[in-house]
Amino acid sequence: MGAGRSEGIVSRSTFSLDLALKRPVVGRINEMFKSRSGKDLNDLTAREFTALLVLADAVNRGKSTDGAAIREALAATDLPGDQTILPWKRVKFDQNGQNNDSTPVLLQYRNGKYVTIFPAEFAVADVAWPMNK
């Protein structure tokens, strides 16, 4: 599939590097990551980074490396979204261990790259309609 045929495609993701335009810490974390890995953060690595951040926070709050203490601290997690590199409202787990405040991003392929078009507070471009025009 050529670039012309991909123009306008919309995709869902957890992360987009252009979030750094709205949340500058994303750019700083990406610079540190890239200096060690030679690559930019992506959907997978951004989620891994966030998981490690949440786990470290739970260990600190639980004041122990004991599994039960960590589990209890994880269950009590309530981390504001602006303390992460993801566009989430917060990290708070329900009784089933799900974070219902995780917000995906919608990306649209424009001029050879993906740009965030949703959610509005993180959008760097308006959606282009019609697609493939």
Is 10 a member of any domain?
Answer: yes
> What is the reported pLDDT for 132?
58
Establish if 78 belongs to a structural domain. yes
- The pair of structure tokens assigned to 49 is 């980074």
pLDDT at position 1: 41
Residue 53 lies in a domain: yes
Q: What's the domain count of the chain?
A: 1
**Local structure of residue 8 (DSSP, 8 states):** T
132 inside domain = no
* Model pLDDT, residue 4: 67
Please report the pLDDT score of residue 105 as a whole number: 94
What residue has token string 């670039």?
3
Note the pLDDT of residue 5. 75
111 part of a folded domain: yes
What integer pLDDT is reported at residue 2 of this predicted model?
A: 46
Domain that holds residue 54: 3-122
- Would the CA dihedral through 70, 71, 72, 75 be positive or negative? positive
Pairwise CA distance, residues 39 & 37, whole Å: 5
In sequence order, the β-bridge partners of residue 118 are 106
**Residue 44 falls within a domain, yes or no?**
yes
Please indicate, yes or no, if residue 58 is contained in any of the structural domains. Answer: yes
Q: If we measure between CA atoms, which residue out of 101, 131, 103 comes closest to residue 119? A: 103
**Series of mean pLDDT values for 10-residue runs along the chain (133 residues):** 73 95 95 97 96 96 95 96 93 95 94 94 91 59
Asked if residue 22 belongs to a domain, the reply is yes
The model scores a pTM over 0.75: yes
